[in-house]
Chain A
Amino acid sequence: MFHPISKNMSVFNLTINGESKQVDVAPDTPMLWVLRDELDLVGTKYGCGVAMCGACTIHLDGNAVRSCQLPVSAVAGKPITTIEGLSENADHPVQKAWLEIDVPQCGYCQAGQIMNAVALLNENPNPSDEEIKNAMTGNICRCGTYIRIKQAIKKVAANS
């Protein structure tokens, strides 16, 4: 038997990039789609929907998380930072390094790569090559910009 899903919407109060937001969505809606469809914050990208590519990486309370696997109901008031909240003018040290090293090709995965790298560097300001690889390996880039991503992270580490 097939049963239509009953009306199932709830209001959630969120803190995104320092601003208070209210959304009225199904509780199981992943933050990825809350950001993209409800709040027009489309810098966070959809890549796989199963936490295997890292394109949707955001920060929840400072930690890198895959927003495609984070239901809005699990956010529980914790602050969220997206790529749009990293800086006003592309001047976060990690963004600056990305520009200096000229990392992007198509650019689609880079917001996720940057958010993941920022979380890594916040926790470990001077990661070894091995630590960079381990931390970044969940973020896929089909264009193959991995070497430049590593260079950019090392550049930030060297300047810190």
Chain B
Amino acid sequence: MKLVKTHYNRRSFLKVSTATGGGMLIGFSWLTRCTPPIKEGLAIPDEWFDINGYIKIGNTGMVTIFSPNPEIGQNVMTSMPMIVAEELDVPWEHVVVEQGALDEDAFKNPQFAGGSLSIKLGWDALRMAGATGRRMLLEAAAKEWNVAISDLSAKDGTITELNGDRSIGYGEIASKAVGLEVPEEVPLKEPKDYKLIGTFQKNVEGSKIVTGKPLFGLDFKREGMALAMIEHPPAFGMKVKDFNESEIKEMEGIEDAFIIDTTIEDPAWSDVNAFPQLIAIIGKSTWRLMKAKKALKVNWETVSELENSEMHTERLKWDLHKGEVGESRKDGDPDEAFAKAAKVIERSYTSPFMAHNTMEPMNFFANVTEDKAELIGPTQTPKAMEESVSKLLGIPVENITVDMTRIGGGFGRRLYVNFGVEAAAISKKLGRPVKLIYSREDDMTQGTYRPTYLSTYKAGLDEDNNLIAFSAKGVGLPEGSVFPNRFPAGAVENYTAEKIKSRTNISTGAWRAPRSHFTAGAEQSFLDEVAEAAGKDPIDFRLELFDRAKNNPVGEKYDYDAERYAGVLKLVKEKAGWGEDRPGIHRGVAAYFCHHSYVAQVFDMVMADGKPKVKKVWCAVDCGIVINYEGAINIIQGGVIDGIGHAMYSELKFENGSSVHKNFTTYQLIRHHQAPEEIEVFFVENDITPTGLGEPGLPPAVGALANALYKATGKRYYHQPFSTANQELINIEMG
């Protein structure tokens, strides 16, 4: 039996108190890892003790779990409470999940949603909280009946005497558990005993979503609040000088217009913002504000280079050779190995800038008074927003609150906080509560883009078609997309990888599966080509490499578990019936490991009306224990579709420092008719600590798509977007 600690140095990770209306309230920190840090003398971080999650066991037996986590569509509002309910051992039908209510002190210090980390980080704390509740209810019943805990069982919301007739519902005993000492350690269930974890459960907010309830930031309203829109410079490299302020202010429905400056001294990573000076227009109705934006006459000044896409392509090519190398790795003697190789294959891959395009455009509510700031809206990083607002306005962090609404898509965009900071700056200047809304054009043209990339891969095969040398070199604006210690590091005797820096004044940031989405596409289509040159089946070729990494690894370390990596390939091979002849079906395969989970995919492509079309996708996933199959399958399917869409159709081009694409009229996102007909998802069953799924489903889709396209069309796809980009091998030699 696994025991988990609820205390450290007599300080408890939990607080138990009487619930309003009767029953028991267990407060706990969703950030607690339960296990003290391995390094001696390292203090436990304070946030391990910040109470920010609550379980209420009401006297009717209804269990309410208050979730403080940002819900951006990754379905943690369902899966995380499932973990609590499993250990507490209550029927899921008795559980109600609520978003930590806004404006309540109890729900400060909310979590972070990014890097597919929510489940991985919450796993210990959630189990500990549920298990402690169960244990304390057992203790209360044992005391009540004057029997030993070992004489009792607690399951499905009821405590039963093992050799007797008595039984009592959790609700009836809950208030008696309050006041008992919190046990120092509590037992956790064995995975084989799970009843709720590993089932299919529906999204707990489903009814609210399908009935159009006001869940999102854009829906938030407070009596007396003004609406605001912004106008940012039309190009990266430009700055606002002045505008027709008095004319705008005289417009119908416009209350005010002014320039704000949100320049933050000592910016944090989350303060990416190309346009700290903005025009803000204030009014009562969004339509009036949109009209006022159209009536703006602004003097912009050019303060740095106005870049364009041709310039970007040249810069990438130049810096691939001349740019500063950041992270790198070298095993063996790649130069010598390439020189003696029987075959050398070298290919280059590119991908353009991309926007996030969350369906809910950026927005935030702010109410700033003399010494306090209250912010409410969709953010993946409330803590970072508090700190940035504090720096800008000189208000102490403890006087700033950031509360979260449901989030209409994140994909990394809402890790950055400029829209919240802007709302705060506007509210401060206005002296009133305000909700800032970006138009779609504002949202698409202001940056934090997925960088543009160029990577060159090179492989050397010996006379027996063994991979003896491998090189990956990548540059990007502003940074390359190469992970030196990822596969095939560890599997090739002579190996080199270099991540190269470049520069741009276009602001960039994390985008769903940062860098992995491009790397997976490039590397996995390159390996497909190498396998073909070696005359090997692409899956067998990869499995050979994993064998090498597992049995006789090259170099000191690599960042993956070769067995689990091979495992998903073997599973997808079996499920898809890889190798069978299927007339009219053209197949491509890819596998990738990122964000702690392994995913392999086989794409079945058909030619319809002379055009390639993905018909079916087979996915094999290893994310450790699957909490909620329904949500897990949904998000993997979404990741595949998102991956196909962006690789096929999406790009952001620049002219004179300005994004050419300003709305969905020219920026193409995948649509219904372009999605595969079916995506079947299979999971490797194991008892490994669960890891997230928000990101890992996307990256292999790009590679499997490119490989299936090759089989269907006879043409290799090197450049995204595959639907429009010229697929000729680009000349990366310097002129």
Contact = CB atoms under 8 A, between A and B. Distances in A.
Contacts of B543: none
A155 interface: no
A147 B673 contact: no
Contacts of B677: 129, 147
Interface string A114-147: 1000000000000001001110111111111111
Nearest to A95: B210
Nearest to B701: A144
B645 interface: yes
Contacts of A149: 672
A106 B251 contact: no
A6 B406 CA distance: 39
A5 interface: yes
B9 interface: no
Given A105-B73, A134-B673, A33 B287 contact: yes
Given A42-B218, A83-B211, A144-B645, A52 B409 contact: no
Nearest to A92: B210
B209 interface: yes
Nearest to A7: B252
B295 A2 contact: yes
Interface stretch (B198-206, B489-497, B524-532): B198-206
* Interface core residue of B74, B206, B250, B297 (most chain A CB under 10 Å): B206
Contacts of A43: 211-214
B669 A110 contact: no
A49 B290 contact: yes
A60 interface: no
Contacts of B411: 142
Contact of A140 (B209, B244, B285, B359): B359
Nearest to B635: A105
B670 interface: yes
Interface stretch (B450-458, B583-591, B636-644): B636-644
Contacts of A143: 73, 409, 638, 642
A11 interface: no
Interface string A91-124: 0000100111010111111110010000000000
B672 A137 contact: yes
A53 interface: yes
Nearest to A86: B211
B410 to A, nearest CB: 8
A155 to B, nearest CB: 14
Given A106-B72, A108-B408, A144-B640, A44 B203 contact: no
Contacts of B466: none
B679 interface: yes
A5 B252 contact: yes
A99 B202 contact: yes
Contacts of A133: 672-673
Interface in B647-691: 663-665, 669-673, 675-679
Contacts of A42: 212, 214, 218-219, 221
Interface in A41-70: 41-50, 52-53, 55
Given A53-B359, A108-B360, A147 B676 contact: yes
B221 A40 contact: yes
* Interface core residue of A30, A141, A150 (most chain B CB under 10 Å): A141
A9 B635 CA distance: 46
B642 A137 contact: no
B290 A83 contact: no
Nearest to A41: B212
Contact of A104 (B203, B214, B221): B203
Contact of A106 (B73, B287, B437): B73
B664 A36 contact: no
B407 interface: yes
A73 interface: no
Given A98-B210, A142-B669, A145-B638, A108 B216 contact: yes
B207 A99 contact: yes
B297 A147 contact: no
Given A99-B202, A133-B672, A143-B73, A105 B638 contact: yes
A56 B640 CA distance: 26
B209 A146 contact: no
A144 B216 contact: no
Contacts of A132: 672
* Interface core residue of A55, A99, A102, A107 (most chain B CB under 10 Å): A107
Interface string B186-229: 00000000000000001101110111111110110100000100
Given A2-B297, A29-B285, A148 B210 contact: no
Interface of B: 71-75, 202-203, 205-207, 209-216, 218-219, 221, 227, 244, 247, 250-253, 284-288, 290-291, 295, 297, 357-361, 406-411, 437, 439-440, 630-631, 634-635, 637-642, 645, 663-665, 669-673, 675-679
27 contacts: A4-B252, A29-B287, A33-B285, A33-B286, A36-B286, A40-B221, A42-B218, A43-B211, A43-B212, A48-B440, A49-B439, A95-B211, A98-B210, A104-B73, A104-B203, A106-B359, A107-B209, A107-B408, A114-B210, A137-B673, A140-B669, A142-B358, A144-B637, A144-B640, A144-B642, A147-B637, A147-B677
Given A9-B252, A49-B290, A140-B671, 16 more contacts: A4-B247, A25-B285, A29-B285, A33-B286, A43-B211, A47-B361, A52-B663, A99-B206, A102-B206, A104-B210, A105-B75, A106-B358, A107-B408, A108-B409, A139-B672, A143-B409
Please provide the 10 A-B residue pairs with the shortest distance between their CB atoms, ordered closest to farther: A43-B212, A144-B641, A106-B73, A108-B408, A83-B212, A105-B73, A144-B638, A52-B664, A107-B209, A146-B675
